């Protein structure tokens, strides 16, 4: 290891020297290194704004958000090392231009493929062109009304009734603290996506809460891939990959673990398709395997991408939702009013009609989006609606987190958790959901790449909320003044987990 590190230093001594100065010698560059500065970072020859990027790496989502809120156009250019540029925006008009108006120009691009390719391969979230179109076309068949109803009334209900509720009941009865409710929700959503998409039950949400190498590997894979993509100097991780040291060695191990399980899922499904000429039900994986694509590695890529989407994004949204709910009793009571009178196992139609809960979830994701930033790469030169020039090869990122906290978009009360901003009353006094321009609220993207699983995610979340809140109160087991830290890899997380106490409800509405 010492020899490999020495080789790294010898090969890239100048780069490491700049990084050392950026991260260790902050007193020499007080303005550049201030973690609270909202000024566009100063750029230097060759290394660009590497000092500021390195110094703020641990809080990059908040740092870029702060800058965007001070820029009149809500768009600025970050200078990366060796002439690379990245445009950041929180301007809805620019977002519409990227995601719809000039969609052919803005693709996932080379940098994303290179950074995430080892983990995600050519799965839908890392794909462009015909590969992306094919995956989207096949996937779209799985999100019809029949499939959504089946998802809510069988998969989600069974996992909720047989696994999640008993764990919460046991915690409430024994007055024990659940050390990480975020982990519980990840286990729940992981089982859900595997069952509905692949016909495979990983049984991850069991009373023993078993530790699995796969879950640890998946978390490490997303984290290290994200660090790669956002690296101040990408040459460092590329060298570590060549030498197979540090985080790159761990990524290689994690990818092997994740692809190993995904390969087992694919092979079991292939075997099932051969043994049964007509399946009782057709899932997403069956559709791909029946589409004529025999490349196992490609189908494995698809499986991994859908696990990422189904496990991490929905669980992140629910984690922050339950934390916000604990701080806003009036919202909790409104949701309880909506749940009262519904059947024991809330049906698909009843879930669809949970309007206030839907608004509360939208509001939660406005403040704490599951995916805080989405990045594209320009395929050719372009000029954005605000006049910003974008050169071919530049990265451009719309900052969902910053947009959700923008006074320009949401008004002076943007910091308030207020579901009513999404609602109006009809003549009878019932709540009616009022949608928002998707380019001002791109939590599910928009345009041709709008999230296929949007409705499925809302149905799942509302069913979980109804199932839990009918019986329990989720109470954070932390100091009342404590503010959890929002961090992000490929998706967002509550740093350190979400410890909670579970109380059975003695009454439904205060």
Domains recognised in the chain with CATH numbers:
90-504 (1.10.630.10)
Q: What does the DSSP 8-state code read for residue 347? A: -
Residue 495 reports pLDDT greater than 90: yes
Residue 462 reports pLDDT greater than 60: yes
Residue 33 reports pLDDT greater than 60: no
Per the structure block, which two tokens stand in for 310? 């189904």
pLDDT of residue 502: 97
CA 121 to chain centre: 18
Q: What is the mean pLDDT of the chain?
A: 88
Taking phi first (over 0 means left), then psi (-120 to 50 degrees means alpha), and beta for anything else, what does residue 371 get? beta
pLDDT of residue 9: 43
- For the entire predicted model, the pTM comes to 0.90
pLDDT tens for each residue of 263-299: 999 999 888 888 776 555 578 888 888 887 668 899 9
pLDDT tens for each residue of 218-253: 999 999 999 999 988 899 999 999 999 999 999 999
How would residue 105 be classed by pLDDT, with cut points 50, 70 and 90? very high
Mean per-residue pLDDT for 24-28? 37
pLDDT of residue 429: 83
Cα-based distances in Å from 442 to 132, 293, 374: 20, 32, 9
pLDDT of residue 24: 42
pLDDT tens for each residue of 171-230: 999 999 999 999 999 999 999 999 988 988 999 999 888 888 888 999 999 999 999 999
pLDDT of residue 290: 83
Is residue 451 part of an annotated ligand binding site? yes
pLDDT tens for each residue of 448-458: 999 999 999 99
Alpha-helix runs per DSSP H in 340-388:
348-352, 355-367
How would residue 348 be classed by pLDDT, with cut points 50, 70 and 90? confident
Q: How many residues in total does the chain contain? A: 510
C-alpha–C-alpha distance, residues 178 and 502, integer Å: 8
Residue 340 reports pLDDT greater than 70: yes
* Among the ranges given (108-122, 133-147, 270-284), the one the predictor scored with the smallest mean pLDDT: 270-284
CB 66 within 8 A of CB 35: no
pLDDT of residue 427: 87
Name beta bridge partners: 374: 398
SS3 184: helix
Q: How many C-beta atoms lie closer than 10 Å to residue 483's C-beta?
A: 8
CB 193 within 8 A of CB 307: yes
- Of 461, 242, 253, 292, nearest in space to 360 by CA: 461
Mean per-residue pLDDT for 353-373? 97
């Amino acid at each position: 290891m010492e020899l490999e590190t020495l080789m790294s230093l010898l090969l890239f001594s100048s780069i490491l020297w700049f990084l050392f100065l950026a991260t260790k010698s902050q007193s020499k560059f007080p303005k550049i290194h201030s973690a609270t500065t909202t000024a566009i970072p100063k750029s230097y020859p060759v290394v660009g704004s590497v000092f500021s990027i390195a110094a703020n790496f641990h809080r990059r989502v908040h740092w870029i958000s702060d800058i965007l809120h001070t820029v009149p156009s809500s768009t600025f250019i970050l200078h990366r090392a060796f002439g690379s540029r990245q445009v950041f925006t929180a301007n809805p008009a620019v977002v519409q231009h990227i995601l719809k108006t000039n969609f052919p120009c803005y693709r996932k691009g080379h940098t994303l493929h290179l950074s995430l390719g080892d983990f995600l391969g050519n799965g839908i979230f890392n794909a462009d062109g015909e590969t992306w179109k094919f995956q989207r076309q096949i996937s779209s068949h799985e999100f019809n009304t029949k499939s959504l109803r089946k998802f809510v009334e069988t998969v989600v209900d069974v996992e909720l009734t047989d696994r999640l509720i008993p764990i919460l009941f046991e915690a409430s009865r024994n007055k024990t603290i659940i050390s990480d409710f975020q982990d519980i929700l990840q286990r729940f959503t992981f089982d859900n996506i595997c069952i509905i998409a692949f016909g495979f039950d990983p049984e991850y949400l069991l009373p023993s809460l078993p530790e699995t190498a796969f879950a640890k590997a998946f978390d490490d894979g997303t984290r290290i891939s994200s660090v790669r993509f956002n690296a101040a100097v990408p040459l460092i991780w590329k060298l570590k990959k060549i030498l197979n040291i540090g985080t790159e060695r761990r990524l290689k191990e994690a990818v092997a673990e994740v692809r190993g399980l995904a390969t087992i899922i694919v092979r079991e499904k292939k075997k099932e398709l051969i043994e049964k000429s007509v399946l009782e039900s057709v899932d997403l994986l069956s559709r791909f395997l029946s589409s004529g694509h025999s490349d196992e590695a490609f189908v494995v890529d698809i499986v991994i991408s859908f696990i990422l989407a189904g496990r991490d994004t929905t669980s992140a949204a629910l984690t922050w939702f339950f934390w916000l709910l604990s701080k806003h009793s009036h919202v909790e009571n409104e949701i309880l009013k909506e749940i009262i009178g519904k059947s024991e196992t809330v049906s698909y139609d009843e879930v669809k009609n949970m309007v206030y809960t839907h608004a509360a979830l939208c509001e939660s994701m406005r403040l704490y989006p599951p995916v805080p930033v989405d990045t594209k790469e320009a395929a050719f030169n372009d000029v954005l609606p605000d006049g910003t020039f974008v050169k071919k090869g530049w990265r451009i990122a719309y900052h969902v987190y910053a947009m959700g906290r923008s006074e320009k978009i949401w008004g002076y009360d943007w910091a308030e958790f207020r579901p009513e901003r999404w609602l109006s009353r009809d003549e009878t006094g019932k709540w009616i959901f009022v949608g928002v321009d998707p380019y001002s609220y791109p939590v599910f993207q928009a345009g041709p790449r709008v999230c296929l699983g949007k409705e499925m995610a809302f149905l799942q979340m509302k069913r979980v909320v109804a199932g839990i809140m009918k019986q329990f109160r989720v109470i954070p087991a932390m100091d009342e003044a404590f503010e959890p830290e929002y961090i992000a890899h490929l998706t967002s997380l509550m740093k350190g987990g979400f410890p909670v106490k579970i109380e059975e409800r003695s009454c439904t509405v205060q």
